Each structure stands twice: as structure tokens, then as C-alpha cells.
Amino acid sequence: MKFLDLAKVYIRSGSGGNGCVSFRREKYIEYGGPDGGDGGKGGSVIAEAVEGLNTLIDFRYQQHFFAKNGRPGMGAQRTGAGGDDIILRVPVGTEILDEDQETILADLTEVGQTVLLAKGGNGGFGNLHFKTATNQAPGRANPGQPGVERTIWLRLKLIADAGLLGLPNAGKSTFLAATSNARPKIADYPFTTLHPNLGVVGVDGAEFVVADIPGLIEGASEGRGLGDQFLGHVERCAVLLHLVDGLNDDFVEEYKTIIGELEAYGGELAEKPRVTVLNKIDAMDEEERALRKAELEKAVGGPVLLMSGVSQEGTVDVLRAVRAEITEDRLRMKKAEEEPDTWQP
């Protein structure tokens, strides 16, 4: 299934039905009087976050959503039927933006959460509503209120606990495949990952969700490569796992490049807790590992972990470091009889 995380949608709520002007015309009733009913309410447009969706691809093929109009009132004090509501079913983590793509109308982060996007118009009053002691035969009725028409944007930000960062071919997809049941595409060329992948990993009896996004390059904030369009998927993460390719001679500059792109992206992303890992140590000897780790720690200004996604050396320590940065309320505990306490490579 194709991944789509941004969609433009046109919505319109239904107009209310017109009120009715009617008078009773019944045999043996001398003073019939007005009996025009009210118009029905127009249908509304509602967005709802549902389970089982992780893409906005449905909105690629249908962009227009128009609710039904209310029916007009009728004689014999009959109110017109209301128009049916339209519900936009979106994945959990969807932001709803106004047409300017900046004003946030809603942020649906929980299953079942709903938001009213366009309210249906009220039905007009029939002439029965205007009957008074001094106006026994009103000859007017109100028209129904018009519906609301607007353009909105849907932007999906995946719900994950930890996000993977790094340049293309830093080993992010290999790490995700080695520690979870996710099967992202892995190859020896850059930009193998073209859309985000999610994987559930477990360590010491706890599970959390890791998001793998396409690699960043220098100038991504200015649109180079795939740009920074996928960074929104790690905005909700509690911690960022930054993988650095230890086999690259410019690994320190690679680290600084990613940090620079995070700062250029803005928001709170650059301030999130980070776990920095020197990857691909399976191709290094002990001396080279120690030397490169020391160089990277100097640039980071903090501890650096060693790991190999291919040989799975050090992956448990990395998972434990990531788990330590995630609050307990976000973790899902596994039952001891179903899963081992500690994930083993």
C-alpha cells in the first residue's frame, strides 16, 4: 500500500431545509390556523481517528466530501428530515490544518477522538413557529442556514516512541529489521527507504515503537534530497536514536550535518533527548573502535554507544538506553510467560 502523509481535502456541510408555510384545510375545523413545519438540519462534516490506518492514501482518490442538505418542512407540523453527517476516518496522529497549512484546527492523537470540521446549517422555522395571539395566520417562514464550505489539509505524523535519524545508508533500516518484526527495504545504495516504517521492539519486558524515516542529507531543510518532509513523523517521539556510519571517514561531519538539519527544522525537535550510536563496528578492530568513539564523543559532548546492526553486537545496550528515555506511561509491558524478559540477538 502506498504511503501518503499529506492530503488536501475539500469539505462542505449541508444547508438547512427551508421552513414551510402551510394552513390546515380540514373539514369541520372552523379555524385551522398555520401548521407549517420547520426545515431539517443539514449534515455536518466530522473527522474521527480510527485504528488500522497508517496512511492517508484514501484521500488521494477522493478529495471532495459534501454532506447532505436538510429537507424542507411540510404541512401538518411535519419537520423535514435532517441531512446525514459525513465522517472522515483518518489515522491516529493526523493533524488537521487550515487552508494556509499553518493554522492547526485539530490534532487527533487517540483512537475514537473526533472533531467537528464543518457544522451543518440549522433548518428554517415554519409559519407555525410565528403564530402569536395577535398574529393568528402568519404567512412567512425562515429559509434554512447555508452550509459551510472550506478547504483543509490532513497531515499524518506517526505515533512512535523513538525515532531513527541518520544520513542515507547509516544502517537505520538494518537496525529496525534486526530488532523488530518490521521488514524495511535494505540495499547498499542511498535513499533505499522512501517512506517511514514502524517497528515494535522489546527489551527487559517492555515494548515501544520505533520509527525509521528516510535519511537526511545536508541541505534537507532547503529541499535537497527528500528534504525534511518526513521529520514530522519523529516530532511526537520521546527520544531520537541517532545512528552514525562509523565506516565513513567524515563520520564526525555526518553527525554535525544531522544536528544542523534538526536545528534548521525548528520547533522542539532539536531539544529532544538523543541517543548517539556509532554503527557498523563489526568492520572495525578494537583500536579503531576506541579511537572513533572518542572522536565522536568529543563532538557530541556526551556518551556514545557502539553497535552493529548486521552482527547485532551492542543492540541490546542501545535498546536499553532508548528505553531509559521513554516514560513509563508510553511503554507497554509484556507478559513474562509470553515473551522472554530480555530481547536476544
Helices and strands (H, E) in the chain, number of each type: 5, 15
Q: Report whether 194 belongs to an annotated binding site.
A: yes
pLDDT of 219 reads 56
CA torsion sign for 179, 181, 186, 191 is negative
Give CA separation, 257 vs 218, 220, 337, in Å: 6, 10, 44
Q: Report whether 11 belongs to an annotated binding site.
A: no
Q: Report whether 80 belongs to an annotated binding site.
A: no
Domains by residue range for the chain, with CATH = 1-156 (2.70.210.12), 162-333 (3.40.50.300)
Q: Report whether 170 belongs to an annotated binding site.
A: yes
Q: Report whether 225 belongs to an annotated binding site.
A: no
pLDDT of 11 reads 95
Give, to the nearest 10 degrees, the angle between helix 315-324 and helix 172-179: 90
pLDDT of 251 reads 84
Q: Report whether 282 belongs to an annotated binding site.
A: yes
What's at 283, amino acid-wise? A
Q: Report whether 172 belongs to an annotated binding site.
A: yes
Q: Report whether 281 belongs to an annotated binding site.
A: yes
Q: Report whether 215 belongs to an annotated binding site.
A: yes
Q: Report whether 248 belongs to an annotated binding site.
A: no
Q: Report whether 280 belongs to an annotated binding site.
A: yes
Q: Report whether 226 belongs to an annotated binding site.
A: no
SS3 of 246, please? coil
Q: Report whether 44 belongs to an annotated binding site.
A: no
pLDDT of 42 reads 95
Q: Rounded distance, CA 345 to CA 338, Å? A: 18
Q: Report whether 167 belongs to an annotated binding site.
A: yes
The three cell numbers of residue 317 are 545496550
Q: Report whether 213 belongs to an annotated binding site.
A: yes
3 and 56 in contact (C-beta within 8 Å)? no
Q: What is the DSSP string of 135-201?
A: -SS----PPPPPPPEEEEEEEE----SEEEE-STTSSHHHHHHHHSS------SSTT---S-EEEEE
Q: Report whether 65 belongs to an annotated binding site.
A: no
Low-confidence stretches of the chain (pLDDT beneath 50): 1, 189, 225, 227, 336-345
Q: Report whether 309 belongs to an annotated binding site.
A: yes
